[in-house]
Structure 1
Amino acid sequence: MANFIIGLTGGIGSGKTTVANIFAELGITLVDADIVAREVVQQGSIGLNNIVQHFGEQVLLADGSLNRARLREIIFQDASQRLWLNSLLHPMIRETMLAQCKEAQSDYVIMVVPLLFENGLDSLVDRTLLVDISPELQQQRTVARDAVTAEQVKNIIGSQASRAEKLSKADDVIDNQGEISALKCKVQALHNLYLSLANNS
């Protein structure tokens, strides 16, 4: 059972997912905040029922699942609604992630959280790992990957904790500005470190 938790984070386009997948290839269980966030609002869930009670049927698609685009529209226009939604979902996401960490069979577990520091989730983990790249590269990679404008990416980067802030808070940092082969070596080195930390914890 994995009781030693590494919080993996990084800004948009930094390569968090790539790094997480290399850890997974080494046999480490991943608990992904984005996946859990979708699970707590799937059809039939308490999360979705509460959302529908609060916002009405307008936030549902024809098949009864959550209309994310509509919900996003509502909460971006009204900060108090965003606050309401966050206070509903964040505790559910947190509980589900911790439960999944407890069930993990690997020596340690990687919790993948895009807004680890922003949402104070670093308090739930034993150690934090930041995937770091320059804002310019972040922009380049995200524009290429998501077919969004540079302006949109700038706004997203602006809404996240600054690079300096994240670097000052992270226990470990992977510089992901190079090749995938270099990345694999860095992950392997950290994997060895985390195994020894987990075994001694």
Structure 2
Amino acid sequence: MSDFIVGLTGGVASGKSEITRRFAALGIAVADADLAARDAVAAGSTGLAEVVAAFGPDVLADDGELDRASMRRRVFADPDARTRLEAIVHPRVRAALQLACAAAPGPYVIAAIPLLAEGGGRDAYPWLDRILVIDVPQAVQHARLLARDGIDHDLADRMIGAQATRRQRLAIADDVIVNDGAIEALGAHVAALDRRYRSLAAQAPAT
């Protein structure tokens, strides 16, 4: 059971997945908010039932699952829709992550929370001991989104604009990795933070 929890966050296309993989390769458990969000609205769940009640049955795909691509376009075009969806999903994600972190083995655990700043920051996640922000310039995010998702410039701009700003994310950071260069540089950054977190975890009082 891990008593020291590090929240990892960053904007879309900042490289969060690559960095969490590197922590995992060092033997660190990762609780993933994206997976928790999928479970929160899985077919047959109370979360999906609330989404259907809020948005109508046309949010469902033919197989009864949430039509995620359609929902993504909808919430990025309509801030009110995004707020309604987040009110359904975020509380379930927070609860699932806290349980997963409490049960995780190892000296510390990473809670990967892309929407940490948007979801209330430290106030919403008071059980985080430290927050790591993966920071990139907006131009880099934009270029990566176009290359990764095959979307147009307008949707890329709206996806970035719908999230917290760099300043808002950095305001809640204890640690920062600037991921605007070669992927090979990430190993040294992650290794240094791993050493720091192991040391801090060893000094933290058990709960």
Q: Which moved more, 1:121-130 or 1:61-70?
A: 61-70
Q: State TM-score, norm by structure 2.
A: 0.87
CA 1:139/1:94 → structure 2, altered by over 3 Å: closer, same or farther? same
User: CA, structure 1 residues 138+59, in 2 after alignment: closer, same or farther (shift >3 Å)?
Assistant: closer
> Is 1:186 equivalent to 2:202 in the alignment?
no
Higher mean Cα deviation, 27-36 or 66-75? 66-75
Q: Match of 1:31?
A: 31
Structure 2 contact 29–104 (Cα < 8 Å) conserved:
yes
The residue aligned with 1:173 is: 176
**What are the Cα deviations for residues 130-152 of structure 1, in whole angstroms up to 9, with x where unaligned?**
11122222212221111122332
Output the CA distance in 1 between the equivalents of 2:149 and 2:77: 23
Q: Deviations over 1:12-33 (max 9, x none)?
A: 1211111111001001111111
5+ long unaligned stretches in structure 2? none
User: Aligned ranges for residues 72-111 of structure 1 at < 5 Å?
Assistant: 72=72, 80-111=80-111
Task: Give the aligned residue type for 1:62.
Answer: D
Aligned Cα root-mean-square deviation (Å): 2.1
Select the residue among 132, 137, 143 that pairs with 2:135: 132
Task: Give 2:198's aligned amino acid.
Answer: L
Gaps of 5+ in 1: none
Alpha-carbon distance, 1:177 to partner: 1.9
TM-score (norm 1): 0.89
Q: Deviations over 1:44-85 (max 9, x none)?
A: 212122333444433322222222344446656765554433
Instruction: Quote the Cα distance in structure 2 between the aligned partners of 1:155 and 1:84.
Output: 18
